[in-house]
Structure 1
Amino acid sequence: MPLRDLLLGLSIVAIWAFNIIVIKLGVEELPPLLLTTLRFMLVAVLLVPFHPVARHHLPFLLLLSATFGTLHFALLFIGLGQAEAGTGALLVQMGTPFATLLAVLFLGERLSLKRMAGLVLSFGGVVVLAGGPSLPSALPMTLLLLSAFGWAVSQLLIKKGPNIPPLALAGWTALLAVPQVAIGSWWFESGQVSAMASAGWFGWGAVFYTAVMSSIVAYGMWYGLLRRHPVSRLAPLSLMVPMGAVILGIVLLGENLNTHVLFGGVMVIAGVGLIVIRFRALFGR
């Protein structure tokens, strides 16, 4: 990989890792469902007018907005409000093992010995993380794992669904998710107007960063790399995101690197690596 593309890939990793920290700080000033709603509104405003879609794609996009917009993002924001950033980033990586199992069950994909070992390792890592002090109760772990499951379902839908350009997909999914998460905020949260009035740099910065930097800028650069390099070459970069989030959580938020996070995190990342990395393709064999 040329140095320019490698630096671009590392920049994407840094943006996504810092995104976890930004969400964690943002939900301290804005209720998580309200923050999710505002994020989707900004993404939709910036993308939908410039990326139209065919009318017959709307039912598919509505379904995707429920799994990717509401199930994945809303539960991610809620879960990160109750868990340490590093632990949350590691648990969200379970989307890959979930997607692998769903592909085996519903798409008839074969489960090789290497991928099976990856599943065992990653789920074992979740068990280790669950026993640590960074999860105050079972609720945040459940929410983050459901968020990962929502991501996995969404990836299968995208794989089998119509060929919609990535930015159009992001914009219209966000637009259709707005009423879903807004109703959730209205129903489960309170004090939204006062929260927006009193929110500072962390709250409004989270709205901007999660919408613009993480969703539009980073994914735009990532799809550019995908056009120039095979997935097998880029997969190791994506595994650096949770590692970066753990480090940033320690440095910026004062989180502790306890043995559960260390060993559970290594198991999750190693397991996901076994699933997604094609080592022969990676080394040109």
Structure 2
Amino acid sequence: MTARDRMLAALVAVFWGLNFLAVRIGLDHFPPFFLAALRYLVLAVPVVLFVPFPDVRLRWLLGYGLGFGAFQFGLLFLAIDMGMPTGLSSVVVQASAPLTVLLGALLLSERVSGRGLVGIGLAVLGMVAIGVDRAQATTLLPMALTLLAALGWALGNLSSRLARPSSPLRFALWMSVVPPVPLLALSAAMEGPTTGWVALGAALGPQGWPGLAALAYIVLLGTVAGSGIWTALLKRYPAGMVAPFSMLVPVVGIAAAWLVLSERPSVLALAGAALVIAGVGVGTLPGAAGKDGGAQAVEPDEVVSTDRPPGSTG
């Protein structure tokens, strides 16, 4: 990989890591389900107008959109809004990697190697450590919601594997058409039918620019630019050469939350985070899946690649 492309891969990790910070800022201006709906609604309109429909079965597109889009980001945004530390959320959502491997083994009969099992074990130990830390801080529910968000990501990954799109980026873009309806319905039911729209109106005023800037970042840099660069790199290089850069995402997420939001993770939480990152790295490097092809995750900001290990989201 050239020095330029290494820098581009690292830049994408920075984009995705800072996504969690943008989400935290956005949640100061919008309710969580409504913000999650907005991030996809902004993309869905131009996608329907200008992007050809991908050559996949509709059920797999719906499965990916509901799991990866609505389920994951709706619960992740809700967890952060309820008090899940922004930096730790960038780590805990990495549980999607071992969950994808386990679900692939259970539902798709995919074989898992010894290295994959070691990776799952390390990640589980890390999650237990973070869970103990969160229980001491009386914020276990947001932790549980973040784990459920990771489960949604994993379910979306299985749909993307079964879809096997010839154009992963087109498939990912069309996925954005699915989440707005269920997320807007959840927003109306749980946040109030007019709450989100009132917040959007307020964001258009002079005091609301941070919320709009956060939304613009999530859509333009976190999603469009990050996904575009990552997909281009995956076309030039083997997946195993590109994917390790995604392990920088939670590092950036924790560092940004530390510097900007003054979040100070405890030693136990940092140890748990290190175990999760190590487990994801061990369990998703080439060879972690069995010879029959283990389940592999998708980069959480809309890059679909059915032949590479997982990275992170926000």
Query: For residues 49 and 137 of structure 2, what CA distance do their matches in structure 1 show?
Result: 41
- From 193, 196, 200, give the equivalent of 2:200: 196
Query: For residues 154 and 60 of structure 2, what CA distance do their matches in structure 1 show?
Result: 16
Indicate whether 1:208 and 2:216 are aligned: yes
Deviation at 1:162, TM superposition (A): 4.3
Matched letter for residue 22 of structure 1: A
Deviation at 1:205, TM superposition (A): 1.7
Structure 2 CA distance for partners of 1:248 and 1:163, relative to 1, 3 Å: same
Kindly provide the CA deviation profile for residues 114-139 of structure 1, in whole angstroms up to 9, marking residues without a partner as x: 11111111011001001215964221
Deviation at 1:255, TM superposition (A): 0.4
Q: Percent identity?
A: 31
Kindly provide the CA deviation profile for residues 164-207 of structure 1, in whole angstroms up to 9, marking residues without a partner as x: 52332233222122111010100000322331222312311222
Query: For residues 105 and 54 of structure 1, what CA distance do their matches in structure 2 show?
Result: 28
Structure 1 stretch 117-126 or stretch 56-65: which is displaced more? 56-65
Which has more helix, going by share of residues? 1
Structure 2 CA distance for partners of 1:135 and 1:17, relative to 1, 3 Å: farther
Query: Which residue does 2:146 correspond to in 1?
Result: 144
Query: For residues 163 and 137 of structure 2, what CA distance do their matches in structure 1 show?
Result: 36
Secondary structure of 1:108 counterpart: coil
- TM value normalised by structure 1: 0.92
Query: Which residue does 1:130 correspond to in 2?
Result: 131
Kindly provide the CA deviation profile for residues 58-111 of structure 1, in whole angstroms up to 9, marking residues without a partner as x: 333223221122111111111122211111001000000000111111222222
Question: Structure 2: where are the runs of 5+ without partners?
Answer: 289-314
Structure 2 CA distance for partners of 1:265 and 1:54, relative to 1, 3 Å: closer
Deviation at 1:54, TM superposition (A): 5.8
Structure 2 CA distance for partners of 1:182 and 1:164, relative to 1, 3 Å: farther
Matched letter for residue 87 of structure 2: G
Matched letter for residue 121 of structure 2: V
Structure 2 CA distance for partners of 1:224 and 1:252, relative to 1, 3 Å: same
Matched letter for residue 114 of structure 2: L
Question: Structure 1: where are the runs of 5+ without partners?
Answer: 281-285
Paired positions, count: 280
> Do 2:97 and 2:154's aligned partners in 1 also have CA atoms closer than 8 Å?
yes
Query: Which residue does 2:8 correspond to in 1?
Result: 8
* Residues 134-283 of structure 1 aligned to structure 2 (within 5 Å): 136-190=138-192, 191-199=195-203, 200-278=208-286
Matched letter for residue 191 of structure 2: E
